[in-house]
Amino acid sequence: MAKVALVTGACGFTGSNMLEVLKEKGWEIVATDLPESDHKVFYQEKGTFHPVYYSDIIKKTGAEFIPADFTKPETLKPLFTRDYDAVFSIASLYDYFAPWELLYKVNVEGHRNLVEAWLASGRKVGHWVHWATDGVYGETPYLPGDENAPYDPPNNYSRSKVEQEKLLWKYYREKGLPLTVLRPAPIYGPRHIYGVYKTLLGPRKFGVGAVVRIYPREKQLMYPTVHVRDLCEAAIFVAEREDTIGEAYNVLSKCITQSEFSEFVSHLGYCSPIYRVPVHWSLYKRVSGLVIKIGRFLDARARKKGKRPKFDVPEIQYITHQYWFSNEKLKELGFKYRFEDPREGLLDYYIWCKREGKL
Protein backbone atom coordinates (compact mmCIF):
# COMPACT_ATOMS: atom_id res chain seq x y z
CA MET A 1 0.00 0.00 0.00
CA ALA A 2 1.29 3.45 -0.89
CA LYS A 3 2.42 5.75 1.88
CA VAL A 4 0.29 8.85 2.41
CA ALA A 5 1.71 12.35 2.86
CA LEU A 6 0.28 15.75 3.69
CA VAL A 7 2.28 18.57 2.09
CA THR A 8 1.72 22.13 3.26
CA GLY A 9 2.74 25.08 1.10
CA ALA A 10 2.18 22.76 -1.85
CA CYS A 11 1.69 25.49 -4.45
CA GLY A 12 4.95 27.27 -3.64
CA PHE A 13 8.46 26.78 -4.99
CA THR A 14 9.62 24.11 -2.53
CA GLY A 15 6.21 22.56 -1.99
CA SER A 16 5.59 21.99 -5.70
CA ASN A 17 8.98 20.31 -6.03
CA MET A 18 8.13 18.16 -3.01
CA LEU A 19 4.95 16.98 -4.74
CA GLU A 20 6.93 15.89 -7.78
CA VAL A 21 9.52 13.96 -5.77
CA LEU A 22 6.83 12.21 -3.70
CA LYS A 23 4.98 11.30 -6.90
CA GLU A 24 8.17 9.79 -8.34
CA LYS A 25 8.58 7.68 -5.21
CA GLY A 26 5.02 6.37 -5.29
CA TRP A 27 3.48 8.27 -2.39
CA GLU A 28 -0.20 9.19 -2.23
CA ILE A 29 -0.41 12.94 -1.67
CA VAL A 30 -2.78 15.35 0.03
CA ALA A 31 -1.71 18.91 -0.75
CA THR A 32 -2.70 22.13 0.95
CA ASP A 33 -2.00 25.81 0.49
CA LEU A 34 -3.81 29.10 0.62
CA PRO A 35 -6.65 29.52 -1.84
CA GLU A 36 -5.10 31.25 -4.86
CA SER A 37 -7.34 34.28 -4.33
CA ASP A 38 -5.76 34.85 -0.89
CA HIS A 39 -2.14 34.50 -2.01
CA LYS A 40 -1.47 38.22 -2.52
CA VAL A 41 -2.75 39.05 0.97
CA PHE A 42 0.45 37.66 2.48
CA TYR A 43 3.07 38.08 -0.25
CA GLN A 44 4.08 41.66 -1.00
CA GLU A 45 6.78 41.20 -3.64
CA LYS A 46 5.95 42.79 -6.96
CA GLY A 47 6.80 41.85 -10.52
CA THR A 48 9.57 39.32 -11.17
CA PHE A 49 10.01 38.24 -7.56
CA HIS A 50 6.36 37.73 -6.61
CA PRO A 51 5.97 34.03 -5.68
CA VAL A 52 4.15 32.06 -8.35
CA TYR A 53 1.19 29.92 -7.33
CA TYR A 54 1.91 26.54 -8.94
CA SER A 55 -1.57 25.03 -8.98
CA ASP A 56 -0.69 23.17 -12.19
CA ILE A 57 1.65 20.89 -10.24
CA ILE A 58 -1.31 19.72 -8.15
CA LYS A 59 -2.99 18.45 -11.31
CA LYS A 60 0.25 17.08 -12.74
CA THR A 61 0.96 14.93 -9.67
CA GLY A 62 -2.63 13.87 -9.08
CA ALA A 63 -2.56 15.18 -5.51
CA GLU A 64 -5.79 15.79 -3.64
CA PHE A 65 -5.97 19.52 -2.92
CA ILE A 66 -7.57 20.94 0.24
CA PRO A 67 -7.26 24.74 0.51
CA ALA A 68 -6.50 26.04 4.00
CA ASP A 69 -5.24 29.15 5.78
CA PHE A 70 -3.05 28.63 8.85
CA THR A 71 -4.40 31.85 10.37
CA LYS A 72 -7.98 30.50 10.20
CA PRO A 73 -8.25 27.38 12.41
CA GLU A 74 -11.64 26.40 11.02
CA THR A 75 -10.06 25.79 7.58
CA LEU A 76 -7.56 23.27 8.97
CA LYS A 77 -9.98 20.61 10.22
CA PRO A 78 -10.53 19.03 6.76
CA LEU A 79 -6.80 18.30 6.55
CA PHE A 80 -6.95 15.72 9.33
CA THR A 81 -9.78 13.37 8.40
CA ARG A 82 -7.29 10.55 7.72
CA ASP A 83 -4.01 9.16 9.00
CA TYR A 84 -0.69 10.15 7.42
CA ASP A 85 2.62 8.39 7.22
CA ALA A 86 4.24 11.81 7.10
CA VAL A 87 3.36 15.48 7.23
CA PHE A 88 5.83 17.60 5.28
CA SER A 89 5.33 20.97 6.92
CA ILE A 90 6.83 23.37 4.37
CA ALA A 91 4.52 26.38 4.49
CA SER A 92 5.76 29.58 6.10
CA LEU A 93 5.75 33.24 5.21
CA TYR A 94 9.21 33.82 3.73
CA ASP A 95 9.49 37.54 3.11
CA TYR A 96 12.18 39.78 4.59
CA PHE A 97 9.95 42.80 3.97
CA ALA A 98 6.95 41.46 5.90
CA PRO A 99 6.23 43.17 9.26
CA TRP A 100 6.97 41.22 12.43
CA GLU A 101 3.29 41.01 13.37
CA LEU A 102 2.45 39.22 10.13
CA LEU A 103 5.47 36.91 10.35
CA TYR A 104 4.50 35.91 13.88
CA LYS A 105 0.83 35.47 12.96
CA VAL A 106 1.62 33.07 10.12
CA ASN A 107 4.85 31.36 11.14
CA VAL A 108 4.19 30.92 14.86
CA GLU A 109 0.48 31.18 15.60
CA GLY A 110 -0.35 29.56 12.28
CA HIS A 111 1.73 26.50 13.09
CA ARG A 112 0.17 26.34 16.54
CA ASN A 113 -3.21 26.20 14.79
CA LEU A 114 -2.01 23.44 12.48
CA VAL A 115 -0.69 21.20 15.26
CA GLU A 116 -3.76 21.82 17.41
CA ALA A 117 -5.98 20.81 14.48
CA TRP A 118 -4.08 17.52 14.26
CA LEU A 119 -4.26 16.90 18.02
CA ALA A 120 -8.00 17.60 18.06
CA SER A 121 -8.59 15.17 15.19
CA GLY A 122 -7.18 12.13 16.97
CA ARG A 123 -5.72 10.90 13.68
CA LYS A 124 -2.31 9.23 13.44
CA VAL A 125 0.75 10.93 11.98
CA GLY A 126 3.85 8.79 11.67
CA HIS A 127 6.32 11.62 11.16
CA TRP A 128 6.13 15.42 11.17
CA VAL A 129 8.97 16.82 9.06
CA HIS A 130 9.26 20.54 9.60
CA TRP A 131 11.01 23.04 7.34
CA ALA A 132 13.04 25.50 9.41
CA THR A 133 16.07 27.48 8.17
CA ASP A 134 19.77 27.74 8.89
CA GLY A 135 18.99 31.40 9.49
CA VAL A 136 18.04 30.46 13.06
CA TYR A 137 21.78 30.28 13.84
CA GLY A 138 22.97 33.60 12.47
CA GLU A 139 26.76 33.57 12.76
CA THR A 140 27.76 30.57 14.85
CA PRO A 141 30.41 30.85 17.61
CA TYR A 142 32.42 28.03 15.98
CA LEU A 143 32.91 26.96 12.37
CA PRO A 144 31.41 25.20 10.66
CA GLY A 145 28.25 25.52 12.72
CA ASP A 146 26.44 22.28 13.49
CA GLU A 147 22.98 21.50 14.86
CA ASN A 148 24.09 22.21 18.43
CA ALA A 149 24.91 25.85 17.73
CA PRO A 150 22.76 28.35 19.67
CA TYR A 151 19.96 30.38 18.15
CA ASP A 152 21.07 33.86 17.10
CA PRO A 153 18.67 35.00 14.35
CA PRO A 154 19.88 38.05 12.37
CA ASN A 155 16.51 39.31 11.09
CA ASN A 156 12.78 39.17 11.77
CA TYR A 157 12.10 36.31 9.39
CA SER A 158 14.72 34.12 11.06
CA ARG A 159 13.50 35.27 14.46
CA SER A 160 9.99 34.06 13.59
CA LYS A 161 11.45 30.71 12.54
CA VAL A 162 13.21 30.41 15.91
CA GLU A 163 9.92 30.99 17.72
CA GLN A 164 8.28 28.50 15.37
CA GLU A 165 10.89 25.86 16.19
CA LYS A 166 10.61 26.45 19.93
CA LEU A 167 6.85 25.99 19.71
CA LEU A 168 7.15 22.71 17.81
CA TRP A 169 9.82 21.33 20.13
CA LYS A 170 7.45 22.04 23.00
CA TYR A 171 4.74 20.01 21.25
CA TYR A 172 7.30 17.24 20.72
CA ARG A 173 8.16 17.13 24.43
CA GLU A 174 4.68 17.61 25.86
CA LYS A 175 2.24 16.24 23.27
CA GLY A 176 4.22 13.59 21.42
CA LEU A 177 4.53 15.39 18.09
CA PRO A 178 6.77 13.02 16.03
CA LEU A 179 8.99 15.89 14.97
CA THR A 180 12.08 16.13 12.81
CA VAL A 181 13.38 19.61 11.97
CA LEU A 182 15.23 20.37 8.75
CA ARG A 183 17.34 23.53 8.66
CA PRO A 184 18.07 24.18 4.99
CA ALA A 185 20.46 26.77 3.61
CA PRO A 186 19.08 29.22 1.01
CA ILE A 187 17.21 27.04 -1.46
CA TYR A 188 17.41 27.24 -5.25
CA GLY A 189 16.35 25.08 -8.17
CA PRO A 190 13.51 24.81 -10.69
CA ARG A 191 10.77 27.41 -10.11
CA HIS A 192 12.92 29.46 -7.69
CA ILE A 193 12.60 33.24 -8.32
CA TYR A 194 13.94 34.82 -5.13
CA GLY A 195 17.24 34.89 -3.22
CA VAL A 196 19.82 32.98 -5.26
CA TYR A 197 17.91 33.83 -8.46
CA LYS A 198 18.78 37.50 -7.99
CA THR A 199 22.49 36.69 -8.25
CA LEU A 200 21.97 34.94 -11.58
CA LEU A 201 19.85 37.81 -12.81
CA GLY A 202 22.69 40.33 -12.41
CA PRO A 203 24.35 39.83 -15.82
CA ARG A 204 20.97 40.13 -17.54
CA LYS A 205 20.15 43.36 -15.73
CA PHE A 206 23.53 45.05 -15.95
CA GLY A 207 25.03 43.46 -19.05
CA VAL A 208 28.12 41.32 -19.44
CA GLY A 209 31.73 42.41 -19.32
CA ALA A 210 34.65 42.60 -16.96
CA VAL A 211 34.00 41.85 -13.29
CA VAL A 212 35.93 43.39 -10.42
CA ARG A 213 35.82 41.08 -7.40
CA ILE A 214 36.73 42.84 -4.14
CA TYR A 215 37.18 40.42 -1.26
CA PRO A 216 38.80 40.35 2.21
CA ARG A 217 42.32 38.93 2.13
CA GLU A 218 42.41 37.53 5.67
CA LYS A 219 38.88 36.14 5.98
CA GLN A 220 37.06 34.16 3.32
CA LEU A 221 33.30 34.30 3.87
CA MET A 222 31.25 31.23 2.96
CA TYR A 223 28.04 30.96 0.94
CA PRO A 224 25.67 28.14 1.98
CA THR A 225 23.06 26.82 -0.48
CA VAL A 226 20.99 23.71 -1.18
CA HIS A 227 19.34 22.50 -4.36
CA VAL A 228 15.62 21.94 -3.86
CA ARG A 229 15.89 18.37 -5.12
CA ASP A 230 18.38 17.49 -2.41
CA LEU A 231 16.16 19.10 0.22
CA CYS A 232 13.07 17.17 -0.86
CA GLU A 233 14.95 13.89 -0.96
CA ALA A 234 16.41 14.62 2.48
CA ALA A 235 12.89 15.16 3.81
CA ILE A 236 11.73 11.77 2.56
CA PHE A 237 14.95 10.17 3.83
CA VAL A 238 14.34 11.33 7.42
CA ALA A 239 10.60 10.61 7.20
CA GLU A 240 11.31 6.95 6.51
CA ARG A 241 13.50 6.52 9.62
CA GLU A 242 12.28 6.37 13.22
CA ASP A 243 15.68 7.35 14.64
CA THR A 244 15.36 10.85 13.18
CA ILE A 245 12.39 11.78 15.37
CA GLY A 246 13.44 14.34 17.95
CA GLU A 247 16.41 15.47 15.85
CA ALA A 248 17.34 18.52 13.77
CA TYR A 249 19.43 18.36 10.61
CA ASN A 250 21.23 20.98 8.58
CA VAL A 251 20.53 20.43 4.89
CA LEU A 252 22.98 22.03 2.48
CA SER A 253 25.63 21.31 -0.09
CA LYS A 254 29.29 21.67 0.75
CA CYS A 255 29.88 25.36 1.48
CA ILE A 256 32.04 27.27 -0.97
CA THR A 257 33.38 30.78 -0.49
CA GLN A 258 31.49 33.85 -1.60
CA SER A 259 34.34 34.50 -4.03
CA GLU A 260 33.99 31.04 -5.57
CA PHE A 261 30.22 31.44 -5.77
CA SER A 262 30.27 34.89 -7.38
CA GLU A 263 32.98 33.95 -9.87
CA PHE A 264 31.11 30.81 -10.90
CA VAL A 265 27.94 32.84 -11.41
CA SER A 266 29.94 35.39 -13.41
CA HIS A 267 31.23 32.64 -15.70
CA LEU A 268 27.68 31.33 -16.18
CA GLY A 269 26.64 34.83 -17.23
CA TYR A 270 29.56 35.13 -19.68
CA CYS A 271 31.15 37.91 -17.63
CA SER A 272 34.91 38.09 -18.15
CA PRO A 273 37.65 38.80 -17.40
CA ILE A 274 37.45 38.73 -13.59
CA TYR A 275 39.81 41.09 -11.76
CA ARG A 276 40.46 40.07 -8.15
CA VAL A 277 41.22 42.84 -5.68
CA PRO A 278 42.12 41.60 -2.17
CA VAL A 279 41.80 44.14 0.64
CA HIS A 280 42.38 44.04 4.39
CA TRP A 281 39.42 42.73 6.40
CA SER A 282 39.16 45.96 8.38
CA LEU A 283 38.79 48.02 5.20
CA TYR A 284 36.40 45.52 3.64
CA LYS A 285 34.23 45.53 6.75
CA ARG A 286 34.12 49.35 6.91
CA VAL A 287 33.12 49.70 3.27
CA SER A 288 30.60 46.86 3.51
CA GLY A 289 29.20 48.40 6.69
CA LEU A 290 28.59 51.61 4.76
CA VAL A 291 26.77 49.66 2.03
CA ILE A 292 24.57 48.02 4.67
CA LYS A 293 23.80 51.41 6.26
CA ILE A 294 22.75 52.75 2.87
CA GLY A 295 20.58 49.66 2.43
CA ARG A 296 18.91 50.24 5.80
CA PHE A 297 18.29 53.89 4.91
CA LEU A 298 16.69 52.96 1.59
CA ASP A 299 14.64 50.25 3.32
CA ALA A 300 13.32 52.70 5.92
CA ARG A 301 12.51 55.30 3.27
CA ALA A 302 10.71 52.74 1.11
CA ARG A 303 8.66 51.50 4.07
CA LYS A 304 7.55 55.05 4.91
CA LYS A 305 6.29 55.38 1.34
CA GLY A 306 4.58 52.00 1.54
CA LYS A 307 6.91 50.58 -1.10
CA ARG A 308 9.30 47.68 -1.21
CA PRO A 309 13.04 48.44 -1.49
CA LYS A 310 14.93 47.03 -4.47
CA PHE A 311 17.15 45.00 -2.12
CA ASP A 312 16.23 43.47 1.23
CA VAL A 313 18.68 44.35 4.01
CA PRO A 314 19.21 40.69 5.12
CA GLU A 315 20.37 39.89 1.60
CA ILE A 316 22.89 42.74 1.67
CA GLN A 317 24.20 41.57 5.05
CA TYR A 318 25.58 38.42 3.45
CA ILE A 319 28.60 40.45 2.32
CA THR A 320 29.94 40.67 5.89
CA HIS A 321 28.39 37.67 7.68
CA GLN A 322 30.06 34.29 8.04
CA TYR A 323 27.34 31.72 7.32
CA TRP A 324 29.22 28.42 7.32
CA PHE A 325 27.39 25.29 8.38
CA SER A 326 28.09 21.56 8.55
CA ASN A 327 26.02 18.91 6.76
CA GLU A 328 27.81 15.96 8.35
CA LYS A 329 25.05 14.86 10.73
CA LEU A 330 22.67 13.94 7.92
CA LYS A 331 25.41 12.32 5.83
CA GLU A 332 26.42 10.15 8.78
CA LEU A 333 23.00 8.48 8.50
CA GLY A 334 23.78 7.55 4.91
CA PHE A 335 22.11 10.38 3.01
CA LYS A 336 23.87 11.22 -0.25
CA TYR A 337 23.51 14.60 -1.88
CA ARG A 338 22.87 14.71 -5.59
CA PHE A 339 24.54 18.14 -5.70
CA GLU A 340 27.21 17.95 -2.99
CA ASP A 341 29.19 20.48 -5.03
CA PRO A 342 26.88 23.51 -5.27
CA ARG A 343 28.37 24.49 -8.62
CA GLU A 344 26.83 21.39 -10.17
CA GLY A 345 23.47 22.32 -8.70
CA LEU A 346 23.78 25.93 -9.83
CA LEU A 347 24.53 24.77 -13.36
CA ASP A 348 21.41 22.59 -13.29
CA TYR A 349 19.38 25.58 -12.07
CA TYR A 350 20.96 27.93 -14.62
CA ILE A 351 19.98 25.57 -17.45
CA TRP A 352 16.40 25.53 -16.14
CA CYS A 353 16.33 29.34 -15.96
CA LYS A 354 17.57 29.65 -19.55
CA ARG A 355 15.09 27.06 -20.79
CA GLU A 356 12.19 28.83 -19.06
CA GLY A 357 13.22 32.29 -20.28
CA LYS A 358 14.09 33.54 -16.79
CA LEU A 359 17.57 34.67 -17.86
Residues 83, 128: contact at Cβ < 8 Å?
A: no
Please write the tens of the pLDDT for every residue from 287-339: 899 989 999 999 899 888 888 887 888 888 888 899 999 999 999 999 999 99
What average pLDDT score do residues 240-252 get? 99
Q: Which of 42-51, 157-166, 191-200 has the lowest mean pLDDT?
A: 42-51
- Is residue 13 in some structural domain? yes
Amino acid, res. 230: D
**What are the two backbone dihedrals, phi and then psi, of residue 32, each rounded to the nearest 5 degrees?**
-140, 150
What average pLDDT score do residues 211-221 get? 80
Confidence of residue 270 (pLDDT cuts 50, 70, 90): low
Average pLDDT, the chain: 92
Q: Which of 127-131, 204-208, 254-258, 302-306 has the lowest mean pLDDT?
A: 204-208
- Is residue 123 in some structural domain? yes
- Give pLDDT, residue 83: 99
What average pLDDT score do residues 108-134 get? 99
Question: Does 239 score more than 90 pLDDT?
Answer: yes
Number of folded domains that form the chain:
1
- Give pLDDT, residue 44: 54
- Is residue 165 in some structural domain? yes
CATH number of the domain within which 133 lies: 3.40.50.720
- Is residue 196 in some structural domain? no
Question: Does 234 score more than 70 pLDDT?
Answer: yes
Between residues 299 and 243, the one the model is more confident about = 243
Q: Which of 327, 333, 21, 329 is nearest to 185 (CA)?
A: 327
What average pLDDT score do residues 225-231 get? 99
Strand-pair category, 274-279 with 211-216: parallel
Cα distances (angstroms) measured from residue 287 to each of 294, 300, 316: 11, 20, 12
- Is residue 69 in some structural domain? yes
- Is residue 234 in some structural domain? yes
- Is residue 230 in some structural domain? yes
Range of the domain at 55: 4-191+225-252+324-339
What average pLDDT score do residues 29-42 get? 84
Residues 259, 220: contact at Cβ < 8 Å?
A: yes
Q: Which of 94-98, 99-103, 242-246 has the lowest mean pLDDT?
A: 94-98
Please write the tens of the pLDDT for every residue from 128-170: 999 999 999 999 999 999 999 999 999 999 999 999 999 999 9
Distance of CA 243 to the CA centre of its chain: 24
- Is residue 213 in some structural domain? no
- Give pLDDT, residue 308: 81
